[in-house]
Amino acid sequence: MEFYASNTPLLDWTGDALIIGLSEDALPLSGPLTELNDRLSGLLQDLIDEVEFTGKDGSSAITRVGAGASIRKLGLVGLGATAAITPETLRRAAAAAARLAKKDRCVSLGLSMPLVQDDAALTTQVLAEGASLALHQDNRFKSEDKSNGKVNLEQIHLLGLGGHDSSLHTAQAICDGIILARELVSAPANVVTPEALAQAAADIAATHGLELEVLDQEQCEALGMGAYLGVAKASELPPKFIHLTYKPAGTPTRKLAIVGKGLTFDSGGLNIKVTGSGIEMMKIDMGGAAATLGAAKAIAQLKPSAEVHFISAAAENMISGRALRPGDILTASNGKTIEVNNTDAEGRLTLADALVFAEKLGVDAIVDLATLTGACIVALGDDIAGLFTENEDLAAAIATAATAAGEKFWRLPMEEKYFDGLKSIVADMKNTGPRPGGSITAALFLKQFVTSTPWVHLDVAGPVWTEKENGYNNPGGTGFGVRTLVQWVLAAA
């Protein structure tokens, strides 16, 4: 599939499907659309009348154009009120258009959309993002390729956006990262092991020229990473501590760290997940690490002026004779001791040592992403991630990045009083508090491993996976977090 930023006016475009984004205020038809309607003998107005198309956000329609015309199909995608159009509206509209064209077996699509924020470069970027993410199909684990023999959508022409090829490159880099994250999350735990995550990091390093350091178990022991290694103990698969670094040419403007939870499978450990708890979905427990590596792949291509460290303490939470026992006490790499009252609260144990490692790098800010708590899904549902920080600037920066990215976060409080729930008789803290406020105590636990660096924790347990097609997402891993991270790094630099 190729994108073309084209100067061809919609009236002159020839190809399979011409799809036009129409806001509610664009009706009744006027200007070039009246002319298009006349040239098509009133077909555009007929389509509008037939399906009672009003331009409502999320609506769409498509019809066949008679023989002899310069296009084969004519489609409409509703954008809602003009004043309410955001970059995300256009991502979703482009996704809807690409899906319509694909379903109707079109090889080429001409897409005509209004500008968002009066910015042709941004418009080009978000249209390309929406369409390419919608068209991403992951059939790696199917024995037969059902698309074989069918025609494929091969060209998308973004009409009236000629000259914005660098925005196509930006979109391509971001989608590369998102698709990597999606595929890492969707792949099962017998494929994406800690070693495979490290290999994915090695591939990024080799392709895009980043530095990579992978610490094995002994090296982590030497650094005193007892919390992380406690989690990894029972598995037959060795832990891999991944540290990928992007360095800009010249002196970096800022130094940033992104830390992702990388549990390639979370059985719960000896506090094993019971039937009905979704144990079969726990391959997604490396969604934070997937977003971290996805962001690395994008950032390596976009080359911002900040230095960025991408970190994941990858492991598998399993049971065996070597397993961590409930009640065991672990010592993290900052010397703090943890009574593990629940082996299923393992993500925070791995993150503890990863955060200590990140802070030692002397970075200006740390963002962690983790599929950390079921409680966050209970609170915010599947589409919204939790955001925890005590740093107002960082909260604002992530919120701005997230809005531009079209990803949803909701800030939850770091209520210090709730740390009482983690008090231990024998150690500095327990790893698990009471059920109420479970996402908050998890964030307060992480806080014990960051001293002074501005830090934000993102609980992405809900949005890293979707059962249903939604906008540009297809069932499976969503790549959630990548766009916000990339946006944040570009803006922070």
Single out the segment in contact with ligand BES by CB under 6 A; choices: 32-40, 203-211, 340-348, 361-369.
340-348
Single out the segment in contact with Zn ion by CB under 5 A; choices: 22-30, 262-270, 293-301, 478-486.
262-270
Residue 266 binds to Mn ion (criterion: CB under 5 A): yes
Kindly state the DSSP code that residue 473 receives in the 8-state scheme: B
For 343-376, b/e burial (b = at least 16 CB within 10 A) is bbbbbbbbbbbbbbbbbebebebbbbbbbbbbbb
What is the β-pairing status of strands 307-317 and 255-260?
parallel
How many C-beta atoms lie closer than 10 Å to residue 222's C-beta?
A: 9
* DSSP-assigned letters across all residues of 296-340: HHHHHHH--SSEEEEEEEEEEE--STTPPPTT-EEE-TTS-EEE-
Among 104, 266, 339, 359, binds Zn ion (CB under 5 A): 266
Residue 209 binds to ligand BES (criterion: CB under 6 A): no
Q: Which does 176 bind (CB under 5 to 8 A by kind): Zn ion, ligand BES, Mn ion, none?
A: none
Instruction: Give the residue among 338, 346, 325, 321 at the shortest CA–CA distance from 268.
Output: 346
Residues 357-376 touching ligand BES, rule: CB under 6 A, are 371-375
Residue 60 and residue 471: Cα distance in Å, rounded? 13
Residues 247-306 touching ligand BES, rule: CB under 6 A, are 266, 278, 285
Q: How far is the CB of 131 from Zn ion (least distance, A)?
A: 34
Residues 334-373 touching Zn ion, rule: CB under 5 A, are 347
Known catalytic residues? 273, 348
Single out the segment in contact with Zn ion by CB under 5 A; choices: 167-175, 196-204, 277-285, 470-478.
277-285
Nearer to Zn ion, 371 or 473 (CB): 371
Q: How far is the CB of 346 from Mn ion (least distance, A)?
A: 5
Provide the token pair at 404. Answer: 């531009």
Single out the segment in contact with Zn ion by CB under 5 A; choices: 48-56, 283-291, 305-313, 409-417.
283-291
Q: How far is the CB of 263 from Zn ion (least distance, A)?
A: 5
Nearer to ligand BES, 104 or 407 (CB): 407
Nearer to ligand BES, 87 or 438 (CB): 438
3-class DSSP string for 194-225: HHHHHHHHHHHHHHHCCEEEEECHHHHHHCCC
Q: How far is the CB of 429 from Mn ion (least distance, A)?
A: 17
Residues 342-401 touching Mn ion, rule: CB under 5 A, are 344, 346
Nearer to Mn ion, 88 or 266 (CB): 266
Q: Which does 217 bind (CB under 5 to 8 A by kind): Zn ion, ligand BES, Mn ion, none?
A: none
What is the β-pairing status of strands 240-246 and 307-317?
antiparallel
Residues 396-435 touching ligand BES, rule: CB under 6 A, are 432
Amino acid of residue 483: R
Nearer to Mn ion, 346 or 353 (CB): 346
Nearer to ligand BES, 373 or 484 (CB): 373
Residue 459 binds to Mn ion (criterion: CB under 5 A): no
What is the β-pairing status of strands 108-112 and 155-159?
parallel
Residue 332 and residue 220: Cα distance in Å, rounded? 11
- Quick check: 127 and 172 in contact, CB under 8 A? no
Q: How far is the CB of 285 from Zn ion (least distance, A)?
A: 4
| Cα torsion 304, 88, 384, 380: sign | positive
Residue nearest to ligand BES (CB): 374
Q: How far is the CB of 66 from ligand BES (least distance, A)?
A: 51
Residue nearest to Mn ion (CB): 344
Residue 175 and residue 295: Cα distance in Å, rounded? 10
* DSSP-assigned letters across all residues of 36-65: HHHHTTTHHHHHHHHTT----TT-EEEEEP
Nearer to Zn ion, 110 or 287 (CB): 287
Residues 52-81 touching ligand BES, rule: CB under 6 A, are none
Residues 441-480 touching ligand BES, rule: CB under 6 A, are 461
- Helical (H) or strand (E) element with 132: helix 120-135
Q: Which does 438 bind (CB under 5 to 8 A by kind): ligand BES, Mn ion, Zn ion, none?
A: ligand BES
Q: Which long-range contacts (CB under 8 A, 24 or more apart) does 191-195 make?
A: 192/264, 192/283, 192/286, 193/237, 193/264, 193/316, 194/232, 194/237, 194/238, 194/239, 194/240, 194/262, 194/264, 194/314, 194/315, 194/316, 195/237, 195/238, 195/240
- Quick check: 412 and 435 in contact, CB under 8 A? no
String marking each residue 318-347 x if it binds Mn ion according to CB under 5 A: --------------------------x-x-
Chain-centroid distance of CA 275 in Å reads: 28
Instruction: Give the residue among 359, 361, 338, 357 at the shortest CA–CA distance from 348.
Output: 338
Binding-residue total with ligand BES (CB under 6 A): 17
Which residues form the interface with Zn ion (CB under 5 A)? Answer: 263, 266, 285, 347
Binding stretches for Mn ion (CB under 5 A):
266, 344, 346
- List of residues contacting ligand BES (CB under 6 A): 266, 278, 285, 342, 344-347, 371-375, 377, 432, 438, 461
